[in-house]
Structure 1
Amino acid sequence: MKANSTRNMVRFAIVQLSDYRRFADGVAHCAVVLPVRPAPDLVELVHSVGFELVVGDDGTYVRITSDGTADLR
């Protein structure tokens, strides 16, 4: 989990996960985990590279879908 949801942290998470994924055997599913929901353009950025987005929300964590809605599965 990153310390905050700024543009720099989101970009850093994407690069870091991309680097780690190179060493995974088989298919690696990546998720950026942030303490709060980032700006809408950053939600789009995370999904544009094929990663999931999980954010803190009232003491729990929720998955944010590509259209920006919270998925509680």
Structure 2
Amino acid sequence: MLNPEYLQKISDEVSAKLGGIKQPLASSQALKSLVKEAVAKLDLVSREDYERLLQIHQRTRQRVDELNSRVADLEAKLKN
């Protein structure tokens, strides 16, 4: 899940884009709640999970390339 500082940053940016209108506390809390709801509905992964899956993918890709090379070598030997 996203950390509270990031949600606060998003909320602040949205508030700034709305023209910097001085909002009452209740309105500001409602905006934060809406942002949290919208983010919760997104299908997000943490950076750590993404990095871990990327490493797994890279190792798998390397192994597939190695196996393809071995198969090509074996096919070449069969032709001779």
Common fold by TM > 0.5: no
Higher percent of residues as helix: 2
State the TM-score, normalizing by the size of structure 2.
Answer: 0.29
Q: Which has the larger radius of gyration?
A: 2
Q: Highest relative contact order (Cα 8 Å, sep 6+), 1 or 2?
A: 2
